[in-house]
Structure 1
Amino acid sequence: MSGHTSFKIGGPADILVLPESIEQLREVLKVVKETVVPLTLLGNGSNVLVRDKGIRGIVIKLGNMLRHFYEAEDLLVFGSGYSLALASYKAMECGRTGMEFAVGIPGSIGGAVYMNAGAYDGEMQNIVNCVKVMDLQGNERVLTAEELNFGYRKTSLQNSGLIVTEVTLKMPSGNKDEIKSKMDDFSHRRISKQPLEMPSAGSMFKRPPGYFAGTLIDQAGLKGYTVGGAQISTKHAGFVVNVGGATAADVLQLIKDVQTKIKAGVGVELQPEVLVIGEE
């Protein structure tokens, strides 16, 4: 799985399937149902750490399917595999404001809804109108934003067995030049402050109430702290990067060390934002 995640870490999956259409996805789900094998669903693999023993059963990676887009009156409709960053540019082209925050977030728009991704005081929950989902029997239905029960980096989709196939967004009209200027500003901030040139899974820790995880880690003198091939980024302490040959065990030990140090120093319990999956 190291070849299928942005962290470039992870042991082997028993079976990896890369469906390219809804029909192919249904066929895979039919096999899963008939054979009763464990199933793991991935979007683009950008917010996940796969353990070193890999994943048993079938892994379905959805990032290379469902990349359609169309505009329907005041709504923007994206296939769940559409790049989140590219979707933000598409919203700008359509003169819609509210998605500027997503300009530099990696991954698919389906995965972004699943995790309620956000940045710069913006979140998916602010712009989602509804989503189309498929259950493990291959049946599709629509869930409203209210039914998704959005929270900080969570939704009711997690652990539901439902697969996001389409995302419908609703945003107010805005000035294209102002939207572009805001996106350019966010992009510049990301490039200058975040280790985008290194393999990572994005921001490692959730924001603790009243604090910023990266600031706490930096103040604790942990920038550059390394376990094996895993390192607290010297550019942004909120990121754990793979400096070369990192294992999941390295990352998990580093997370534990950071949690222990921050808890002892300021009494704050840091919680990982990244999804950890696979066999221990």
Structure 2
Amino acid sequence: MNVNTLGKDLKQFVEANDVLIEAPLADYTYTKVGGKADVLVFPRSYTQIEQIVAYTKEYVVPLTILGNASNVIIQDGGLRGVVMILTKLNEVKVAGNRITAQSGAAIIDVSRMALDASLTGLEFACGIPGSIGGALYMNAGAYGGEVKDVLEQVVVITDSGERKVMTSEELELSYRTSILQKNSYIAVEATFVLEEGDQTAIKAKMDELTFLRESKQPLEYPSCGSVFQRPPGHFAGKLIMDAGLQLTRIGGVEVSGKHAGFMVNVANGTASDYINLIKHVQETVKEKFGVSLHREVRIIGDSPEE
């Protein structure tokens, strides 16, 4: 289908200025890399998402869902079909010891709202840059906490456009994975159950974790966050450091000198630079230590030659 026709059709469901044609995805990713989306759309309601899902299914148009795009590398060839970014679905409500957040809300902001309400349990998320939807997809975690510890239920839209509620158990959350990675459901809302706590103690914990993050992570450069999952019995960053790979650069992307588990875009790097550096690190660590590093970051989209 012609991209202009596709864009025109989508304007049936959303406001005209919420549809962009051939938009550069590098403008929307934490890595600052990525080719163009055929059509980029920013829904503002669950009904709009349902309509877009139904449309793409009827006309067999590829559909990709993004939140804050903080733990994803979009290849330089971009993404075909419709790319739906959920950041305009960002409402958060606090009721008693529960917080309900739409999937486009930043999990950092939700953790701060928990602090304001003197609720404890989300302190671990105070430095995670992703959206609620991305956190659900990956079962995001840090500093000993993870989403599954506090999640009660999720509202999803199925691939047939049906809206349904799933419990935390039904999401099959485990280390950096969920059932959302196996089916094509779109998480649009999450409810967290927290505990009443002392606001001063909660803030002190968040301040401590923020200090640790800022002192150890290369936040001054674009990056995709932690690149690799933690290998059993090891730490990915230490293996990379012990392999002498810190500051190794391919194109404009290098292994951070501050934290070897991160790769940073220091000089107008490309997705291909990231992908080639990831492969080089994996091969070197495997050769030196016999340990396989598996990506935590997702790589999606078309390579430039496709």
TM-score, normalised by the number of residues in structure 1? 0.96
> 1:231 and 1:20 mapped to 2: Cα distance?
37
Deviation at 1:161, TM superposition (A): 1.1
Letter in 2 for 1:230: V
State how 1:27-176 maps to structure 2 within 5 Å: 27-65=51-89, 67-176=90-199
How far does residue 246 in structure 1 lie from its aligned partner after superposition? 1.0
Residue 223 (structure 1) aligned to one of 246, 251, 261: 246
Per-residue CA distance 1:143-181 (angstroms, 9 max, x = gap): 001101011100001131111111000122221111100
Q: In the aligned structure 2, how far is the partner of 1:3 from the partner of 1:160?
A: 28
Given that residues 139 and 146 in structure 2 are in contact (C-alpha distance below 8 angstroms), is that contact kept between their aligned partners in structure 1? yes
- Deviation digits for residues 219-263 of structure 1 (CA, Å, limit 9, x no counterpart): 111110000011001111110111122111111111111111111
Deviation at 1:30, TM superposition (A): 2.9
Aligned residues: 279
**Is 1:12 matched up with 2:53?**
no
Structure 1 letter corresponding to 2:63: L
In structure 2, the residue matched to 1:239 is: 262
**Cα offset for 1:64?**
2.2
Q: Secondary structure at the match of 1:177?
A: helix
Asked if 1 retains the 8 angstrom alpha-carbon contact of 2:73 and 2:298, the reply is yes
Amino acid at match of 1:271: H
> How far, CA to CA, are the matches of 2:40 and 2:93 in structure 1?
30
Letter of the 1:91 partner, please give it. A
Aligned letter for 1:9? V
Please report how far the alpha carbon of residue 116 of structure 1 lies from its aligned counterpart in structure 2 after TM superposition.
Answer: 0.4
RMSD of aligned residue pairs (Cα, Å): 1.2
Q: 8 Å contact 2:97–2:119 — kept in the other structure?
A: no
Question: Which among 46, 55, 58 is matched to residue 22 of structure 1?
Answer: 46
Partner of 2:282: 259
Q: Deviations over 1:174-224 (max 9, x none)?
A: 211111001000101111111111111111111111111111111111110
2:140–2:176 CA contact under 8 A, matched in 1: yes
| DSSP 3-state at the match of 1:236 | coil
- Which runs of 5 or more structure 1 residues have no equivalent in the other structure? none
1:193-208 equivalences under 5 Å are 193-208=216-231
> C-alpha offsets along residues 69-101 of structure 1, whole Å, 9 cap, x if unaligned?
222333211111111001111111222211111
Query: Does the CA contact (< 8 Å) of 2:50 and 2:157 recur in 1?
Result: no
Q: Which runs of 5+ in 2 are unaligned?
A: 1-24
Q: Which residue of 1 aligns with 2:15?
A: none
Identity across aligned pairs (percent)? Answer: 47
Q: CA deviation at 1:279?
A: 1.3
